[in-house]
A and B are shown apart, each in its own frame.
Chain A
């Protein structure tokens, strides 16, 4: 079945970097884009952007430019989210999510299980 499996929780100090992985299985990785969504503690869902899995070209939502980088390793069907210069306000669960049909973004299904990134000194 179609599945997205993310890497485990991370605890980082302010100023450090983190890289979250999202491994896809059950479908052709390059046939669908990959999206990223953030959920701060006790808050709602915020779309961060998407990456074209054919070209590697990323698109970032406002507020997610500069310190946030989407990347791919198509040889292992994996998408990555890297966040640099971490701040306390980056503490959140980060989800990868596949669009429902072969496009940049539409509805999202499935979702990865989420990766909690905690930024604390």
Chain B
């Protein structure tokens, strides 16, 4: 299985800030990476797939980059509704695996 290291596990930021979340793979996965947002008591929602393709309806302040082993989710200008937990997920090889999650909290 591919191991994923997502960092940081906790991120404190303020509305209007630019933040980045990292996801590092134990081996190369090309661009087979997705990002999800999860709010308390809700199901995860897809933000980005293929490392950098924004899912329809997702605000453009979200962006993804990277390929191979290192990936980044960037939120360019935090809004109040962005405070949530974020997960990366690889779908390059079986089994698909998720990162440990990054909780984005209000500073």
Enumerate chain A interface residues (CB-CB to B < 8 A). 44-47, 61-62, 95, 100, 105-114
Enumerate chain B interface residues (CB-CB to A < 8 A). 32, 34, 36, 42-46, 49-50, 55, 87, 89, 91, 94-101
Chain B residues closer than 8 Å to A106, beta-carbon distance: 32, 34, 49, 91, 96
Does A45 lie within 8 Å of B87, measured CB to CB? yes
Q: Out of B32, B43, B50, B95, which one reaches A111, CB within 8 Å?
A: B43
Q: How far is the CA of A44 from the CA of B44 in the complex (A)?
A: 11
Does B43 lie within 8 Å of A47, measured CB to CB? no
Q: Is the interface of A mostly helix, strand, loop or mixed?
A: loop
Q: Out of B42, B46, B95, B100, which one reaches A109, CB within 8 Å?
A: B46
Does A113 lie within 8 Å of B43, measured CB to CB? yes
A102 CB, min distance to chain B CBs, angstroms: 14
Does B95 lie within 8 Å of A61, measured CB to CB? yes
